Amino acid sequence: DAGVTQSPTHLIKTRGQHVTLRCSPISGHKSVSWYQQVLGQGPQFIFQYYEKEERGRGNFPDRFSARQFPNYSSELNVNALLLGDSALYLCASSLTTGTNEKLFFGSGTQLSVL
Amino acid sequence: RKEVEQDPGPFNVPEGATVAFNCTYSNSASQSFFWYRQDCRKEPKLLMSVYSSGNEDGRFTAQLNRASQYISLLIRDSKLSDSATYLCVVNMETGGFKTIFGAGTRLFVKA
């Protein structure tokens, strides 16, 4: 069975540009969440979506947005990129939403903003 | 103050040693607790959930003390393959779902 897949694996952008990251959850999983991980730190929660509805949002500016599609895949969009947005962006899927749900992570998209 | 704080590490231990990691959380509304493991340049993977009654999975034992808002992970008989970063994770649902990861504690197990 395929795990969580993310694309692209690496991306280089310049300040002010826009970026779209994509995630396909494990088959049968209906919830997707997004995280930003800077080197040397733990992942920071950005969003959780379940059944196309936003269920949670972390402390990120409005430049960050996301959506979930009917097939449960998801996109993370970041506008007006800043140097500080350079990080590993991780997507995780879970069967449903809820605090007891176990997260299964993709291998991430490494974003570099120059 | 960070919402989830872990021992800064790194921990350097010989094979066969017992090592304990500590984690504290600040929000009493926290509902579920986990330990994840992250190898260098890889994604985090679930190690185990943490329950108030304590739980064990082979060489790994996790404990939760809700009164002290404290979580621990004990690794017995350390193996070289245990070398990784261990992440303490807290979930809550107050005004929306939220997952909070600690910064992680790096473990090096040496032969």
Return the minimum-mean-pLDDT range out of A29-38, A72-81, A98-107, B65-74: A98-107
- Mapping DSSP to helix (H, G, I), strand (E, B) and coil, where does residue A76 land? strand
Q: Which residue in B100, B102, B104 is closest to A45 by CB distance? A: B100
Give CA separation, A74 vs A59, B43, B100, in Å. 19, 18, 21
Contact across the interface for A99 and B45, Cβ inside 8 Å = no
Task: In whole angstroms, give the CA distance from residue A108 to residue A3.
Answer: 12
Tokens of B32: 């579920």
CB atoms within 10 A of CB A12: 12
* CB spacing of B104 vs A33 below 8 angstroms: no
A35 CA: distance to closest CA in chain B (Å) = 9
Tokens of A80: 């007006």
Residue A50, classed as helix, strand or coil, is: strand
Using alpha carbons, select from A47, A89, A85 the residue that is nearest to residue A68: A47
Residue B96 in this model has a pLDDT that exceeds 90: no
pLDDT digits (tens, 9 = 90+) for A54-77: 999 999 999 999 999 999 999 999
Of residues B87, B93, B96, nearest to A42 (C-beta): B87
Residues of A in contact with B42 (CB under 8 A): 107
Measured over the CA atoms of residue A73, residue A77, residue A83 and residue A85, the dihedral's sign is negative
* Proportion of chain B above pLDDT 90, given as a percent: 82
Those of residues 40-79 in B touching chain A at CB distance below 8 A are 42-46, 49
